């Protein structure tokens, strides 16, 4: 099978809207996605980050830069503010070049965010 681009989803929530909580949780989530899917940094095509409207103390992409991902395109946005949705949540869509089948991709949902996709957690 030849290389193709696959999307890997993930989410994590934090205790409070602080720079430390946002960056620490984002690093944790990124590292788990990379470890579980055996990804090399050079195979990451791009990462999209979103946060719920109650998180604005830091850009989650800064955590990727702290991990040395200086050549990876990163983009942050805010989630739609849906009533009764999970608060204090960071979501990730990582696009990677891989030979893995879609069914072999491991999506990562940590902490309280595991209830977003119980079928994958």
Which one is catalytic: 28, 32, 76, 111? Answer: 76
31-88 pLDDT, tens digit per residue, is: 999 999 999 999 999 999 999 999 999 999 999 999 999 999 999 999 998 999 999 9
Cβ–Cβ under 8 Å, residues 11 and 49: no
100: pLDDT confidence band, cut at 50, 70 and 90? very high
Active site residue 111: no
Active-site annotation holds for 76: yes
What CATH number labels 4-116?
3.30.1330.40
20, 35, 38, 65: the active-site residue: 65
Which of 9, 20, 27, 36 is labelled catalytic? Answer: 9
pLDDT at 1: 63
Tokens 């089948």 label which residue?
101
Q: Is 117 among the residues known to form the active site? A: yes
| Alpha-helical regions (H) of 13-60 | 19-37
Taking 3-state DSSP, the helix, strand and coil percentages for the chain, each rounded to the nearest 5, stand at 30, 30, 40
Per the annotation, the verdict on 89 as an active-site residue is: no
Q: Are 15 and 21 a contacting pair, CB within 8 Å?
A: yes
Entry pTM: 0.93
Active site residue 38: no
Specify which residues 10 forms β-bridges with.
92, 108
């Amino acid at each position: 099978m030849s290389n193709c681009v696959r999307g890997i989803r993930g989410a994590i929530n934090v205790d409070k809207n602080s720079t430390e909580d946002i960056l620490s949780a984002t690093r944790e989530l990124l590292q788990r996605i990379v470890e579980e899917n055996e990804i090399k940094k050079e195979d990451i095509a791009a990462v999209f980050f979103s946060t719920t409207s109650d998180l604005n103390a830091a850009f989650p992409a800064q955590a990727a830069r702290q991990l040395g991902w200086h050549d990876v395109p990163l983009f942050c946005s805010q989630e739609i503010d849906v009533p009764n949705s999970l608060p204090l949540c960071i979501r990730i869509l990582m696009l990677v070049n891989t030979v893995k089948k879609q069914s072999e991709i491991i999506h990562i949902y940590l902490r309280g965010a595991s209830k977003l996709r119980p079928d994958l957690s």
